[in-house]
Structure 1
Amino acid sequence: MTAGRCTHDLEFHDDVVIKRYASWGRGEPRREWQALTLLAEHAPGLAPVPVRAALDGRPPLIVMSRLPGRVLRGEQATGEQIQATADALNRLHRLPRQVVETVGPASWGPVAAVAKARAWAGRRPELGDEPVVREAYRAGVAWLDSSAPDGLATDPRPPVLGMADGNRANYLWDEHDRRVRLIDWEDSGRNDRAFELGELCEHISRLDGALDARRLLALVDLTPAEARRVRAFRLLIALGWFLQLGPGGPAAPHNPPGTLAVQAERVLRLLG
């Protein structure tokens, strides 16, 4: 869950993309190379094919196949695109458990998200005088102060390979093959499936275009218990973004005026 962080530079060629990393303190190049390698073997066609890497370079780089299509960010996602997104997620989340267990934890997950939201709430950010914003802040902080977020740290189901980044720019729609492929694996790792789904539904990129989260979640085969966890994670992610949208917050410069109030309404809706 980052705002305005430039993590890499992309160089496009006819058949390949060269990704050079601007930062790699969280092991981004190795995370991405491992994910692409595993996916090429166990879920071919779901992500770019790894070609070669210089993981210890300065900067590190990865060469991968270039995929056709356009990103879903900024799109009014159609029913077909939502179905294709669900198909891609179902395929990703059905990787064999023994494969997922070879991967380290994702850099962004439940424990980090709870800690970050509580840290931002503790700073008492200046959020202005709009009543809906103040109401969302009071209600959101009360939820963060409760024991509910702590219950999200333990996942009762086996982990999945996750992207740990719900930015809809990471979902590539192929008009020709009528499918969605997944790009940008630099934060990837072993993660909680409900968290991954909550992150996709509530990433701030949802405000740039539209993707019907309810329709998507109906297509990913959730148990009632999982559905409740997804909703709780959606609230956590939405609240985290809300707390960073006030004047001076890191998410504010990258979003249009009025975003804070829109996000406040989202938080209140999820709390309700």
Structure 2
Amino acid sequence: MQKHTHDLVFTADEVHKRFVTWDDGEADREWRCLSAIHEHARGVAPRPLRREMWGSRPVVVTERLPGDPLGDRPLSAEQTVALGRALSRLYAIPVDAIAAAAITERRYGPSTLPQLLSQWPDEPYDLSQCRERAEVAIGVDTARAWLEDSPALPEPRLVGLGISDLNPANILWDGESCRLVDFEDGGLTDPSYDLADHVEHIAGRLSGVFDADRLADAVGLSPEDRARMQAYRPLWAIFWLVMLLPGNGAFRRNPPGTTEVQARHLMRLLR
């Protein structure tokens, strides 16, 4: 479900993002998102410089930002506030400006992910590769039942621009500010939905990078939107459980036992 889509080439002042696959419009989406951010929330993401071709492959060239990617440790209070500020500025970009830039709903957006997830757990998986096959099977059955019951998910409010992939590696920290990179899946979004995605992202959740409550505070979510964020979290926990099933890329990339950890996490969320 996820695939390697690009290679990065760095110079002293530039980053060249060379796309390996672009069938889903990744290069176009990256360019449009970065252009809108540069116009309406300058400094949150790298400035887009130009588009090129490398052979038959599209390339998006941006400025090279200062800072280092966040690692696998919990954010400090200062980093959480800075990240919240960056996300708030994204969400504040006017919808009219997003539409004018021909930016559509983010990949795996709130209008498409529930339907996609309802199909994925029914695919055949060989759970014998899991350490605790029975535990994973219970998690998959629970996910399937939750999806089949058609839970009353919040009505999406597509009011801002989102990054979609908030892997901590896509957040640059320079000691004062957080800046965001990798917008190939970004687009129009619901902030509550996006934050549920971010705190459930396996790359940050397993190592406790994001504190869900503190990040919601830093973004400035209202009590109603915080409840909406919480309601969306099981959807993303199921997404990652499916990603971590044998045969999918996340299963190969993560240590043995990660699928079981995710199954237990989903069960806790649904209690």
Give, in whole Å, the separation in 2 of the partners of 1:247 and 1:61. 33
Give the aligned partner of residue 171 of structure 2. Answer: 171
> Does the aligned pair in 2 maintain the 1:30–1:55 contact within 8 Å?
no
Q: Which moved more, 1:157-166 or 1:6-15?
A: 157-166
Identity %: 38
2:219 aligned counterpart, secondary structure: coil
Give, in whole Å, the separation in 2 of the partners of 1:224 and 1:43. 25
Instruction: Work out whether 1:34 is the aligned partner of 2:32.
Output: yes
Give the aligned partner of residue 259 of structure 1. Answer: 258
Deviation of 1:89 after TM superposition, in Å, equals 0.7
Give the aligned partner of residue 50 of structure 1. Answer: 48
- AA aligned to 1:224 is P
Judging changes above 3 Å, is the alpha-carbon distance between structure 1 residues 203 and 263 closer, same or farther for their aligned structure 2 residues? same
Structure 1 regions of 5+ residues with no counterpart?
none
TM-score by structure 1 length? 0.89
Deviation of 1:145 after TM superposition, in Å, equals 0.6
Give, in whole Å, the separation in 2 of the partners of 1:124 and 1:61. 37
Alignment of 1:87-126 (within 5 A): 87-102=85-100, 103-123=103-123, 125-126=125-126
> Does the aligned pair in 2 maintain the 1:11–1:17 contact within 8 Å?
yes
Instruction: Work out whether 1:162 is the aligned partner of 2:168.
Output: no
How many residue pairs get matched? 265
Deviation of 1:221 after TM superposition, in Å, equals 2.1
Judging changes above 3 Å, is the alpha-carbon distance between structure 1 residues 67 and 166 closer, same or farther for their aligned structure 2 residues? same
Give the aligned partner of residue 146 of structure 1. Answer: 149
- AA aligned to 1:265 is R
Give the aligned partner of residue 214 of structure 1. Answer: 213
Give, in whole Å, the separation in 1 of the partners of 2:135 and 2:80. 31
Structure 2 regions of 5+ residues with no counterpart?
none
Alignment of 1:60-75 (within 5 A): 60-75=58-73
Give, in whole Å, the separation in 1 of the partners of 2:95 and 2:244. 38
Give, in whole Å, the separation in 2 of the partners of 1:244 and 1:28. 20
> Does the aligned pair in 2 maintain the 1:51–1:63 contact within 8 Å?
yes
TM-score by structure 2 length? 0.89
The two structures, once aligned, show a CA RMSD in angstroms of 2.1
Superposed CA deviations along residues 238-260 of structure 1, whole A, max 9, x for unmatched, are 11111232333332001011111
1:251 aligned counterpart, secondary structure: helix
